[in-house]
A and B are shown apart, each in its own frame.
Chain A
Amino acid sequence: MTTIDTNTESSEMPEKDPNAVSITINGRTVEAQKGEFIIAAADRADEFIPRFCYHPRMSSVGMCRQCLVEVEGPRGPMMVVSCMTPVAEGQVVRTETPQVKRAQEGMIELLLANHPLDCPVCDKGGECPLQDQAFSHGAGESRFVEEKRHYEKPIAISELVFLDRERCILCDRCTRFADEVAGDPLISFTQRGNNTQVMTFPDEPFASYFSGNVVQICPVGALTAEPYRFKARPWDLEQRESTCTTCSVGCRTVVQSSRDELLRYQGVDSDPVNWGWLCDRGRFNFQSVNSEDRLENPQTKAGDSYATTTWSAALDTISRTIRHATPGSVAILGGARGTNEDAFMWAQLADALGVTMRDAQLDDGLPASIFSYPQATIDAACSAGTVILLAPDMKEELPVLHIRLRDAAEKKKIRIIEISARETGLTKHAWRSVRAESGTSVTAVQQLLADSAIAAQLASGPVVVVAGRANLAEDAAHTMAAVDAVLAGVQNASVLPVLRRGNVRGALSLGLAPQSGKDAVAILEASARGQVECLILLGADPMNDIADADLARRGIAGAKFVVAIDTFLTQSAAHADIVLPAAAYGEKDGTTMNLEGRVTNVVQKITPRGTSRADWMIAAELGLLLGHDANVTTLADVQKLMGKKVPGFGATTTSVAVKRDGIVVTVPTPTRTSFVAPTITPRNSYEFRVDVSRKLYDRAVGTITSPALANLATGVSITIHPLDLERVGAAIGANVRVSNAHSSIVLPVQSNEKVPRGTAVIPFNQPGADVRELIRHGDSVVDVRIESM
């Protein structure tokens, strides 16, 4: 008998995962994780178990009972619901025995007892889990002869979502989503027994920013979305997987079209990013691409109006203007709405022409040096011990990141410390939330770091700072200095920059970041002084987006020649000498970079409108005319060149990963500079400090040109604390005069006890009075006086 030295033996063996469980499904051994449900293990093993209520991204509830399977038990086989039964070592599961089949057929028969079977007129028909599984797992006929339930059909439960209660099988997916994922439990099961129905509170609509998701996950045709109702049959749709570029979260989507018209976006489950969810703005703004108001041909200014011209004539004029311009007097603003390839080719052209005035941001984010800090991904933030928020209200600006952070906080994976001037969507999920008036975030950070309980929390694990521009009426240096303060006080903290615009990180990383401090503000100032002879607006709309309205006006007016490359005749484009129509999202292939630096692909699904082109083509052709031929004719050429010139981008052109979860690319970043919070002048009689930030629905061009979203903007108002309102002496809803040294505007006043005393909240870019009149660039903070009228 030989003795085996168990010590050496075991040290060579890979350590057994203590959570690994081995079960048998239909005779096959399947490895599973402790705590996992049978249905999840079966899914991974490609053993399909029918289901309606089970959703891998939500908690199991066992509502529909369709996933019945047989599990060997001490008294023989037992029927269990596989979405509620955890796996156990040695468990024997059978999913296809005659008993299981009989049980599943019975469930389908019961679910169909009240279902109207109006498939021929139902939008879901053709992609309906109930239809499909009635076919695959149903008996084929029903024994029920009784009258089915009847309800008025359909009823609108919000501006975007319709509910047909007859079709509903009460699976609890939509209500669970609203409660667990979106955190907006505005729909609920009401009544009881045979009368049970999903319903909102009387006269209180399901006005969630995430309402479109319930339409996507509804396993029957009970919930339909207004923008897609009766637009197409699923089998007429063609689709390609892409990435949403409405904001910088970079949610994966499928873009669906029929007859060369975009008809629907659906969320795709990308584990590091969006988990299948989309916000309503991203989901429904496909309507903007189909808009009648899209630019179709190059336009040249002829007096007060525009005349259609040809591409060659337009590009010829532009190239002549650039050639004759004084060196150093050409400027490029924008690039964050396009693809990486667009930004790269424009940066190449700028390099070749020696253009130093360029900025992909419009002074509405943070300096590009935010990328020089140690970087964190979304996943890193959602699993960090502590997340410090120095950011805007993510529910308004980056909704799906809000969902991810909310989920992590709810599941106690992270503790959120929020430093903000007012309550945000994440405040109620925060471990600590401190109110720091605009301009005081550095002090607030220092106070927090001095607190022993908070120091202990910060020392307990990784720390991620989520940094973004919380207040457009506050100098960005305040936020940067606060980030510096955190990093100085916390070892190994990393930063997740939350710049909002679709591909802003890609554009900044690929060469459209300001050079030697000449950012958008400096460019517009130079332009106002008459130092810009050719201003190229690359999908940028400074007249709408620069927080300093006066600077935007002077800058645009001062430019000798303005070229706008855009999909619509925006406010700024309307001042251009030449307008070039750009291909929109869904009309061009390429890649995009999300806020964490993840590169994924975007795809062309339909033909570009009119003669519109991708931005990179325009840059390439202009280069050719100006004697700087980049020698590219296809997107593949551009990507090859980009891979060669930009370290980190080599892999993205060949990798299949960009077609799903993407690759996090690190590009060389500007050197890190430290920031000092600008000083704040005394308020004197201007007793309210203004907090200006975006809401999800505003006058953004993609929103106002989407009919379903156009009317969802709340409109402008100023919100102050009820006691402040009393002092001002105005009634709720009444107009007040808001003024400072720069200007004065008139807008309705609202009150909210959650707004701190002395703070006034005004949403940005809403229909109505323009808050930007009160903001001047370089102002540390903006203080105003409010007077009743």
Chain B
Amino acid sequence: MARLTEENVRLAREIIGRYPKARSATIPLLHLAQEQDGYVTNDAMAHIGELVGATSAEVYGTASFYEMFKFEPVGKYLINICGTMSCALMGAEELMHHAESRLGIHMGGTTPDGLFTLEKAECQAACTEAPCLQVNYRYRFRVTSENFDTLIDQLQAGELNSEIPAHGTVAAVRQHIPADRGVGAVAPEDVTEGPAWLDGKAAL
């Protein structure tokens, strides 16, 4: 259980600064919390609430809507195997069985060394490359049992570290947007005119 670190609070304030309303930063901050701890802790949610001016319950309500935020620890590598139509036709079930026996866990479980979590996923929009899977949301296409084993070997050996960061890290490189490059979004209540295509007429 951990609140955001000092370094991350600085980042959080930078992120909040991008929005006309602090609350709009809730989801980016949840990603930040997940990057910090590998999952979203209760303390982090309470901390985010303090930072954006919401109650912990509101942050939890928002966060829990999204499958990609985890509230329990998951492995360093979260492996989502697609089980929807195309992948199912191309052997997803066999792949899942293989994954389970290779890692010694059931779908939804985490290996005792804390390295892998297996999950069954819905369509990942790569139907032409079925069966597919994602490791920390990084694709692997046309996965056979053999190249699944190779993938696990490589992950265990740390060979893919540069390509696949630990679970929670959205992007390996964090972008910093200087204040003068921001889009300068206007708060909804401050919008007085309708959009240009409405020819100056106020929307509804």
| Stretch from A200-208, A534-542, A623-631 contacting the other chain | A200-208
Identify which of A184, A188, A202, A203 contacts B61 (C-beta below 8 A). A188
- Contact, CB under 8 Å: B60 / A189: no
Q: Is B103 an interface residue (CB 8 A)?
A: no
Task: Say whether A191 faces chain B, with CB atoms less than 8 Å apart.
Answer: yes
Tell yes or no: A192 within 8 A of B by CB: yes
Q: Does A712 have its Cβ within 8 Å of any Cβ on chain B?
A: no
- B65 in contact (CB, < 8 A): yes
- The answer to whether B55 touches A201 (Cβ under 8 A) is yes
B143-158 with Cβ < 8 A to chain A: none
| Interface size range on A against B | 10 to 19
List of B residues within 8 angstroms of A189 by Cβ? 61, 65
Q: Nearest Cβ in chain B — how far from A727, in angstroms? A: 25
CB <8 Å contact, A201 and B65:
no
Tell me the residues in window 35-57 of chain B with beta carbons closer than 8 Å to chain A beta carbons: 42, 45-46, 54-57
> Nearest chain-A residue to B65 (Cβ)?
A192
- Residues of B near A186 (CB, < 8 A) are 55, 57
Per-residue B-contact encoding for A174-191, CB less than 8 Å = 1, 0 else: 000001000011111111
> Which residues of A lie under 8 Å from residue B42 when comparing CB positions?
201-203
Q: How far is the CA of A184 from the CA of B57 in the complex (A)?
A: 10
Query: What string of 1s and 0s marks CB contacts (under 8 Å) between A598-620 and chain B?
Result: 00000000000000000000000
- In the complex, the answer to whether A201 meets B64 with C-beta atoms within 8 Å is no
Give bound CA distance, A199 to B57, whole Å.
Answer: 8
Which residues of B14-46 have CB atoms within 8 Å of chain A's CB atoms? 42, 45-46
Cβ of B58 under 8 Å from chain A: yes
- CB atoms of B58 and A190 under 8 A apart: no
Does A192 lie within 8 Å of B64, measured CB to CB?
yes
Question: How distant is the Cα of A186 from the Cα of B57 in the complex, in angstroms?
Answer: 5
Chain B residue at smallest Cβ distance from A179:
B58
Q: Chain B residues near A185 (CB, 8 Å)?
A: 54-55, 57-58
Complexed CA–CA distance, A185 and B23 (Å):
14
Q: How many interface residues does chain B have, given as a range?
A: 10 to 19
A202 CA / B54 CA spacing, docked (Å) = 15
Residue of B nearest to A178 (CB): B57
Residue of B nearest to A187 (CB): B57
Task: Give A317 to B55 CA distance when docked, in angstroms.
Answer: 60
CA A449 to CA B56, docked complex, whole Å: 39
Q: Which of A179, A188, A189, A190 has the most CB of B within 10 A?
A: A188
Q: Which of B57-82 contact A (CB under 8 A)?
A: 57-62, 64-67
Instruction: Choose from A191, A200, A201 the contact partner of B46 (Cβ within 8 Å).
Output: A201
Give Cα A202 to B58, complex, Å: 12
Most buried by A among B46, B61, B67: B61
Query: Within the complex, what minimum Cβ distance (angstroms) separates A429 from chain B?
Result: 13
CA distance A303 to B113 in the complex (A): 77
B60 and A199 contacting across the interface, CB-CB below 8 Å: yes
CB A158 to nearest CB in B, in angstroms, measures 12
Partner of A191 from the list B45, B54, B65 (CB cut-off 8 Å) is B65
A191–B57 touching, CB < 8 Å: no
In the complex, chain B residues whose CB is within 8 Å of the CB of A190:
60-61, 64-65
User: Which residues in B have their C-beta under 8 angstroms from that of A200?
Assistant: 57
* Residues 129-161 of B at the A interface (beta carbon under 8 Å): none
> When the two chains form their complex, are residues B56 and A204 in contact, meaning their CB atoms are under 8 A apart?
yes
The smallest C-beta distance from B67 to any residue of chain A, in angstroms, reads 8
A199 surroundings in chain B (CB, below 8 A): 57, 60-61
Q: Which chain B residues border A184 with CB–CB below 8 Å?
A: 55
Residue of A nearest to B62 (CB): A188
Q: How far is the CA of A185 from the CA of B56 in the complex (A)?
A: 9
In the assembled complex, 27 residue pairs joining A and B whose CB atoms fall closer than 8 Å, in A order, are A179-B58, A185-B54, A185-B55, A185-B57, A185-B58, A186-B55, A186-B57, A187-B57, A188-B60, A189-B61, A189-B65, A190-B60, A190-B61, A191-B64, A192-B64, A192-B65, A192-B67, A199-B57, A200-B57, A201-B42, A201-B45, A201-B55, A201-B57, A202-B42, A202-B60, A203-B42, A204-B56
Beyond contacts A192-B64, A204-B57: 4 other A-B pairs, Cβ-Cβ < 8 A, are A185-B57, A188-B55, A201-B46, A203-B42
For the complex of A and B, the 4 pairs showing the least CB-CB separation, nearest first, are A188-B61, A201-B56, A190-B64, A201-B57
